[in-house]
Structure 1
Amino acid sequence: MEELIEVVLEDVPHGDLLSVVMYLVKDYKNVVDVQCSEHLSTPLNCQNIEDVVVDFTKIEEGAALILRLNSLDVAGEMVPSVLLRVVKYEEKYDVDFNFSESDLKRVEKFFFIRKLQFFTSEVAKKYKIPSFFCGVEPASDEDTRYFTGQYLGPLR
């Protein structure tokens, strides 16, 4: 069975949500598809991601925004076919992304996980995100985590 690796950035500050999403997306040309669980007044297309995210923040109830990316640059390592999701609940936002472990064939997995931890840590510092973790999807399962914040494990 093919496993998905999931990275979660919890409690992304409202004022930094657009910046975090655009930092991960890099360029609208990298976006293959956009979907939202709720109706937005902004058309869902790949050329206006900034407007879509701003409109998404105006939704009053919980919602999810999903962006399918061609790739994600993780500290110089290009990960293909990434699913980026923004989840809004109450007035909080989580940003997570996942990808297939099989896409890491070219790279030694432990080396990549360390790069991914460094990359995620840098994003968290830059945007004052208090909590982040990574593991086999669902990464919320602490027994299948590669890292939680600065700490490795239990999977290695």
Structure 2
Amino acid sequence: MSIFTIVSIVIPVALASSIPPILQHYGYTHERRYRWLLYLACGLFFISWYVPSPLIDGQDTAFNTHFIGGGIFTGCLWLYLKHALSWHRYWLVEAFSLFALVSALGCMNELFELLVAKTGVAHLSLDDTNWDITANTAGALLVWMVSLGAMGGQRIVRRDT
């Protein structure tokens, strides 16, 4: 079994089984109402490892893996946490918080890829980092736009809560 198969299973199982109890422990019992977003995120993360990605400029990439399992996954996880924590801010603050989360997780992923490549655990090219970052950001942006559309543009109005 490859390291990537293990990661595709362990990460979503760990998140789905640990985040809800932590939130409930701290009194966020209404998180259950939004848990489907967490399960969607975890399912997308798992599936993303098995979706083929296109060649870009003749270069083998993991674009779809990062678009789905990086960006869309992070967007759904962010929405889950935002609603579970009842965190509503000015739309620009929310947009930057999503960008910060997708950037942080993307950076952690790239460091993991570097570790795996340099230790010889798996053979992979480190030449597609720019496409990985682009795909992560594009996936999160897609979730942001869909959630904005689902709210009917209500997020543009400043909320003082």
TM beyond 0.5: no
Q: Which structure exhibits the higher relative contact order, with contacts defined as CA atoms closer than 8 Å and separated by 6 or more residues?
A: 1
Please give the range of the TM-score, normalised by the shorter of the 2 chains.
0.3 to 0.5
| TM-score between both structures, scaled by the size of structure 1 | 0.35
Higher radius of gyration, 1 or 2: 2
Structure with bigger strand share is 1
